[in-house]
Homo-oligomer: A and B are copies of this chain.
Amino acid sequence: MDGRTGLPLVGMVGGGQLARMTHQAAISLGQSLRVLSVSADDSAALVAADVRIGSHTDLTALREFAGGCDAVTFDHEHVPGDHIRALEKDGIKVYPSADALIFAQDKGRMRERLSELGAPVPRWRRVRELADITGFGLPAVAKATTGGYDGRGVWMLQDEAQAQELIATGTSLIVEERVPLRRELAALVARSPFGQVAAYPIVETVQQDGICVEVIAPAPGLPEQRALEAQQLAIDLATALGVVGLLAVELFETDDDLMVNELAMRPHNSGHWTIEGARTSQFEQHLRAVLDYPMGATTLTAPVVVMANVLGGPPGGISIDERVHHLFAEDPGARVHLYGKQVRPGRKIGHVTVLGDDLAEVRARAARAAKRLQEGI
């Protein structure tokens, strides 16, 4: 409890944009997020009042940070499980727990557990030597079990030579069939320690070069039955894995099935649209979940909501401030979110959200707005 306000104190490990937007949500709840940030220039460190500088791999720093927090949670998956267990042993409420988070940290463990649970997953296998890949069959998708993000840690293997080369790097791998997917979807749910689960509408996520560039809510043309199945799958997984906080389930939609691609247990890029597009944003929902508050309404606030990521564009051109100026002149209804990050080509520096009635128009506006910020033209 924060003695000054009588309201809870949540600590988030990691100072990226997810912590930044969680702090923004915390303000409404009368709270002020405590952030453990590697650098004072990190996204969240630039805007939060209670910032501790330190590494998420330093148990001493984690312990000092966690002291006095009603709950500790994460902006990313990189905190070692042993450190989380040490905090849990200290009596800190850490959500998700080490036992749950492992399934978002390790794709091998995730695939094993999901297979045990009978959840739909692509055909897969752990890789210990070349024969595990050749025996599985090529072409195939290889994934690093840990540390992958935004297309990194994923390889499309066409032939044995490529497989050999990858194995030589010593990376811990799994191999999966390449799913003949129609598109990608995402299911987002939040679960509290009490066990209440709230599910958001299923969205479509559009990827380019392994990076999510666009999220459409609700997923266009998705039959209600399949949407309900996807929500139920995410609810069942959150419950079975003991997740507290948000669980994002990235899904492949094939012609007649859904398959789980990835899991994340934190606010997720596929849920940024909820800031304006749902009655309760994913960031507030995550706070409510880790504090065991009852969940907020997940209803859409408009028939169509589209979020487009803003990636760092090529160097040069007009300043980011001028780009904002032009965008605001061009589309007074576009909602802009900038993360305070240095621009590097391809780096996520913000997102825009557009709401409306007509799918084609809303998508075009969101794409236009993102391009304006990204390329300045």
Q: Which 9 A-B pairs have the closest CB atoms?
A: A30-B338, A297-B333, A294-B328, A294-B329, A297-B332, A5-B340, A32-B47, A24-B27, A6-B320
A30 to B328 CA separation, bound complex (whole angstroms): 14
A28 to B340 CA separation, bound complex (whole angstroms): 9
Q: Decide if A169 is an interface residue (CB 8 Å cutoff).
A: no
Q: A294 touching B1 by the CB < 8 A rule?
A: no
Contact indicator per residue, chain A 203-246, by CB within 8 Å of chain B (1) or not (0): 00000000000000000000000000000000000000000000
Q: B332 touching A28 by the CB < 8 A rule?
A: no
Contact indicator per residue, chain A 124-139, by CB within 8 Å of chain B (1) or not (0): 0000000000000000
Query: Can you identify 17 A-B contacts, CB atoms within 8 angstroms?
Result: A6-B320, A7-B324, A7-B338, A7-B340, A23-B27, A27-B47, A28-B335, A28-B338, A30-B338, A46-B49, A279-B332, A279-B335, A294-B325, A294-B329, A299-B333, A301-B301, A301-B302
- Beyond A5-B46, A7-B340, is A332–B295 a contact (Cβ under 8 Å)? yes
A199 → chain B closest CB, angstroms: 13
Residue in B closest to A327 when the chains form the complex, CB atoms: B294
CB neighbours of A340 from chain B (8 A): 4-5, 7, 30-32
Q: Decide if A8 is an interface residue (CB 8 Å cutoff).
A: yes
A96 to B337 CA separation, bound complex (whole angstroms): 26
Residue in B closest to A332 when the chains form the complex, CB atoms: B297
Q: A296 touching B332 by the CB < 8 A rule?
A: yes
CB neighbours of A31 from chain B (8 A): 340
A341 to B24 CA separation, bound complex (whole angstroms): 17
Q: Decide if A181 is an interface residue (CB 8 Å cutoff).
A: no
- Contact-size category for A: 35 or more
Q: Decide if A45 is an interface residue (CB 8 Å cutoff).
A: yes
CB neighbours of A295 from chain B (8 A): 328, 332
Q: Decide if A282 is an interface residue (CB 8 Å cutoff).
A: no
CB neighbours of A1 from chain B (8 A): 321
Q: Decide if A51 is an interface residue (CB 8 Å cutoff).
A: yes
A329 to B26 CA separation, bound complex (whole angstroms): 18
Q: A321 touching B49 by the CB < 8 A rule?
A: no
CB neighbours of A355 from chain B (8 A): 279, 301
Within 8 A of B (CB), among A7-31: 7-8, 20-21, 23-24, 26-31
A39 to B227 CA separation, bound complex (whole angstroms): 51
Q: Decide if A114 is an interface residue (CB 8 Å cutoff).
A: no
Q: B20 touching A279 by the CB < 8 A rule?
A: no
- Beyond A288-B328, A325-B294, is A336–B29 a contact (Cβ under 8 Å)? yes
